[in-house]
């Protein structure tokens, strides 16, 4: 699967490639915000969907799961910020 974001002007930026067992869409659920990217299957896949209420229930009963998703969110946010920085800012 490819995670892409449409930039101004209609150009797509590849954000990530996901492999079997990885999840997507959790940021919109965790942050209660609109999605910021599109996930596109590049091969045949099976997808399991969970409604927001299921996430809320799971997180209430399994704090370790909630914490794991929070760490994943923080890591993805960090990578996204780095990706947006111009290369010259690293010099």
Could you report the per-residue pLDDT of 72-89, keeping only the tens digit for each?
888 877 877 887 776 655
Q: How high is the pLDDT of residue 50?
A: 87
Which sign does the torsion angle of CA 31, 36, 38, 39 carry? negative
Answer for the pair 24, 11: CB distance below 8 angstroms, yes or no: no
pLDDT band, residue 56 (cuts 50/70/90): confident
pLDDT band, residue 61 (cuts 50/70/90): very high
pLDDT band, residue 60 (cuts 50/70/90): very high
Can you give the pTM of this predicted structure? 0.69
* Distances from the Cα of 4 to the Cα of 10, 42, 56, angstroms: 12, 12, 26
Q: How many CB atoms lie within 10 A of CB 37?
A: 21
Answer for the pair 69, 59: CB distance below 8 angstroms, yes or no: yes
């Amino acid at each position: 699967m490819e995670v892409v974001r449409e930039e101004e002007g209609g150009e797509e930026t590849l954000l990530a490639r996901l492999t079997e067992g990885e999840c997507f869409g959790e940021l919109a659920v965790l942050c209660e915000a609109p999605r910021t990217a599109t996930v596109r299957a590049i091969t045949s896949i099976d997808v399991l969907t969970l409604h927001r209420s299921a996430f809320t229930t799971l997180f209430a009963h399994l704090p370790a799961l909630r914490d794991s998703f929070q760490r994943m969110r923080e890591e993805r946010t960090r990578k996204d910020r780095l990706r947006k920085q111009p290369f010259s800012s690293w010099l």
